[in-house]
Amino acid sequence: MAKLTEGLRSVVGDKAAKRLATLGPAGLRTLGDLLTYYPRRYETRGELTNLAALRDGEDVTVQAEIVKSSVRPMRNRRGSMLEAVVTDGQGNLSLTFFGKGSLDWRQRATEYTIPDGLATAVCPSAEDIAIAKLCAWREKDQVWLREAFWSGVAKAPHTATLLHGELPDAAPARDELMRRMSVASHVGAPPEDAS
């Protein structure tokens, strides 16, 4: 039986112990540290939120119908904008996605058309979403990035390649984006042998 003072290496293995040592204020080094490292908050994934009840700063899951969408060139710079309005029947939500450069996000996006052809949705690639989240770098963006890279939803090497292309004017310096990329794709990743 393991004791709370036992080092993590003997309990979870070398790789996981190294990753766990980067968590918490002083790192997780013992079984006791691991058992008393509580999440900062809990998120209920998949619970739908009414669009009319949305508040700034909330993390939510919505299911909505696209009411209208259009792609148009930006007025004062190169690139294009995808503007869409979606509804859940009780409220509307306006969405805007920006693209820039010769490898515009629209060329990498996936287009979905329902069988009767009455509606089409254009979804940015996971890597383009990752770039937007690397630029914003809020705590919730960092969580999304780590989960996306761990699960393979977004490919870290492909995202890194895209960071060497044209970026939005408001993006941080390329070196800072690469640093953030390294943090998001390496620190605290779950053990490879976890099931």
Cα torsion through 165, 170, 175, 180, rounded to 10: -100
The CA radius of gyration of the chain, in Å to the nearest whole number, is 21
The predicted-structure confidence for 4-42, as pLDDT tens digits, reads as follows: 888 888 878 888 888 888 877 778 888 888 888 776 666
Using a pLDDT cut of 70, give the percent of the chain over it: 74
Is the distance from CB of 99 to CB of 81 less than 8 angstroms?
yes
State the DSSP code for 5.
Answer: T
Rounded Cα–Cα distance for residues 9 and 11 (Å):
5
Is the distance from CB of 128 to CB of 105 less than 8 angstroms?
yes
- Going through 40-173 in order, the beta strands assigned E by DSSP cover 65-73, 80-87, 92-99, 110-113, 120-123
As beta bridge partners, residue 7 has 30
pLDDT tens by residue, the chain, 195 residues: 667 888 888 878 888 888 888 877 778 888 888 888 776 666 666 667 788 888 877 777 777 888 888 777 777 666 777 788 888 888 888 887 776 544 456 666 776 666 666 666 667 778 888 888 898 888 888 888 888 888 888 888 888 888 887 776 678 888 999 999 988 887 554 544 444
Rounded Cα–Cα distance for residues 160 and 177 (Å):
9
Rounded Cα–Cα distance for residues 31 and 39 (Å):
16
Structure tokens, 36: 């008393």
Structure tokens, 141: 């963006």
Rounded Cα–Cα distance for residues 150 and 190 (Å):
7
